[in-house]
A = this chain, B = another copy of it.
């Protein structure tokens, strides 16, 4: 369902998506999640319930789609002047945002759809894109890049494991240790790394 929703991005279809997403966001501010229903959302968005069922399938898939849109990064990762610095800053911010109550609610919504929902992989592709920006930034400056896949295995995955499965969220020190073990040259003081 979401795949379809993402392909048809223009005109009437885009307006329906925007209006349904806005209705969900407004209603979530007024009601508890268990009170939310598709007829209620349709009424607020000014569409018929069948429009929502046709496009999203069910409430879980719609909430997952809204969460994906909220997780879409609004800007490039902070530019600290070095790859280790960028990766450390990105990881700490990622851990912080994803372990917040809104972050954990978005993760829950992303997993609440069907087991073949595309929502988790959209979420993961945002991470790939952000890390890709840091990598290209380094290469464009003639600095060594880093192994994005290895970084995901060694830093992103354990941060999310702690958030999803453990009661203790990942601390800033924990993030720093993961980055430092995963990225060569991270032991150098970040501030001393100058940009050519």
Contacts and interface: CB of A to CB of B under 8 A. Distances in A.
A21 to B, nearest CB: 21
A161 B165 CA distance: 12
A58 B33 CA distance: 12
A111 interface: yes
A174 B157 CA distance: 15
Interface string A149-181: 000111011101100111100000000001000
A111 to B, nearest CB: 4
Interface in A44-83: 58
Interface size class of A (residues with CB under 8 A): 20 to 34
Contacts of A152: 158, 161
Interface stretch (A87-95, A119-127, A133-141, A183-191): A119-127
Contact of A154 (B120, B154, B156): B154
Contacts of A165: 120-121, 123-124, 160
A121 B167 contact: yes
Interface of A: 34, 58, 101, 104-105, 107-108, 111-112, 115, 120-121, 123-124, 152-154, 156-158, 160-161, 164-167, 178
